[in-house]
Amino acid sequence: MKIVISPAKTLDFENSLPTSDFTLPRFLDETEKLNETLKTKSPKKLAGLMDISKALAELNRERNLQRVPEYTPVNSRQAAFAFKGEVYLGLDAYSLSIEQINQMQNKLLILSGLYGLLRPLDLIQPYRLEMGTQLKVGRKPNLYKFWDKKITEAINAELQEGEDFVNLASQEYFGAVKPELLKSPVITPIFKDYHNGQLKVISFFAKKARGTMVRFALDNNINKAEELKAFNYEKYEYDEKLSTEFEWVFVR
């Protein structure tokens, strides 16, 4: 089974790492090409392009200028331990055992606007580039067009024939994938909460639940998507009546 998730806007390059093992991203040439485009953007342009504050724009301008093509543990950090957001709060990678970290490396993939597709132990340098950013790169009008074929082919290279593929990424990021070209059908869990008497997707809780489901898969060494229907962390339960063949709804 392979699972794909989104990255996070916030980063953690400070906490002590539980492992020194690392791998390198597969699309470093493409990352360098994107960064060359980003380096031409002033803080003002970045602020408008990414809809971020002046301070954040200046920070990311510096990141773009300082990024180097050589990735080492000195200037980089493994992706699963660098991202810090709701999904990664649910995953809680820092508390994984070494055995679980190795399992995560084999099961999990992370979509990225700058790196395309990452494995958990792939080294990354600090950045901010959301997939929905309307960044024109050469003849490609945006990041979706820049990445779609490359990411889809990379996922197919990871998938064994008949292996389950579970999408726990946001719509923004999974939009860079061409599901119709994948070897396996896409199973998409959806997390809903009762709020004011109505059952709905609440963004913060849904994001955390995606990471928590990854943690559930690692804790239980799950290799078949069907076993994810037993997911019960944070009091979620699979609802067969609300689910379809490829969209599985979990409620609490």
Whether 38 and 135 have beta carbons less than 8 Å apart is answered as: yes
Inter-residue long-range contacts of 227-236, CB under 8 Å, 24+ positions, other chains counted = 228/166, 228/189, 231/189, 233/209, 234/208, 234/209, 236/191, 236/209
**Strand 237-238 relative to strand 247-251: parallel, antiparallel, unpaired?**
antiparallel
Instruction: Label residue 194 exposed, middle or buried (CB < 10 Å: 0-12, 13-18, 19+).
Output: exposed
Confidence (pTM):
0.97
Residue with tokens 């609490």: 252
Whether 189 and 248 have beta carbons less than 8 Å apart is answered as: yes
The pLDDT tens digits along the chain (252 residues) read 999 999 999 999 999 999 999 999 999 999 999 999 999 999 999 999 999 999 999 999 999 999 999 999 999 999 999 999 999 999 999 999 999 999 999 999 999 999 999 999 999 999 999 999 999 999 999 999 999 899 999 999 999 989 999 999 999 999 999 999 999 999 999 999 998 889 999 999 999 999 999 999 999 999 999 999 999 999 999 999 999 999 999 999
CA angle in degrees (0–180, nearest 5) for 132-112-193: 75
Inter-residue long-range contacts of 101-107, CB under 8 Å, 24+ positions, other chains counted = 101/18, 101/19, 101/21, 103/218, 103/221, 104/80, 104/214, 104/218, 105/23, 107/1, 107/2, 107/3, 107/214, 107/217, 107/218
